């Protein structure tokens, strides 16, 4: 209960909780792991997004995706509740959106002058 009173908006507390959940998850015996709750990962990703820190957001989504991929590999995803599965999907979708955005910005590497010259030559 104290986490929800003090830590829900505190990124450092959320990151510490994420790390603890990662440790707890991977310390379980392979083949018998119970999936971690994605809430703190989703909340941390949201705070990163509000701060416009795409790198931090991507990092937390990747950390969750590592847990979830392992869980899918070794256990049935049906063990998760509907809410947990929804949060997991949100984190995965956001990671994919960030990757697509990065790919789009990497492919459009023109300066404003180049864009203006291109528009003039297209007429």
pLDDT, residue 37, reads 86
pLDDT at 84: 64
CA atoms within 13 A on the CB side of 42: 16
CA distance 91 to 106: 23
Cα gap 16→82, rounded to integer Å: 25
pLDDT at 121: 47
* Helix/strand/coil for 112: helix
Question: How many beta carbons lie within 10 A of that of residue 37, not counting itself?
Answer: 16
- 93 phi and psi angles, rounded to 5 deg: -60, -40
Query: Per-residue pLDDT for the chain (123 aa), expressed as one digit of tens each?
Result: 455 556 678 999 999 999 999 999 999 988 778 888 899 999 999 999 999 999 999 999 999 999 988 888 875 544 555 556 677 788 888 888 888 888 888 776 555 555 444 444 444
Show Cβ contacts of residue 3 under 8 Å, excluding neighbours closer than 6 positions.
Answer: 13, 17
Give pTM, 2 decimals. 0.60
| pLDDT for res 50 | 94
């Amino acid at each position: 209960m104290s986490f929800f009173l003090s830590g829900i908006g505190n990124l450092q507390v959320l990151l510490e909780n994420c790390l603890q959940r990662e440790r707890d998850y991977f310390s379980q015996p392979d083949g018998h792991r119970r999936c971690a709750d994605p809430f703190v990962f989703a909340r941390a990703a949201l705070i990163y997004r509000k701060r416009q820190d795409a790198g931090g957001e991507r990092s937390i989504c990747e950390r969750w995706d590592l847990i979830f991929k392992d869980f899918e590999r070794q256990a049935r995803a049906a063990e998760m509740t509907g809410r947990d599965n929804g949060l997991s999907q949100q984190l995965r979708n956001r990671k994919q959106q960030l990757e697509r955005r990065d790919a789009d910005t990497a492919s459009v590497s023109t300066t404003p002058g180049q864009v203006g010259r291109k528009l003039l030559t297209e007429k």
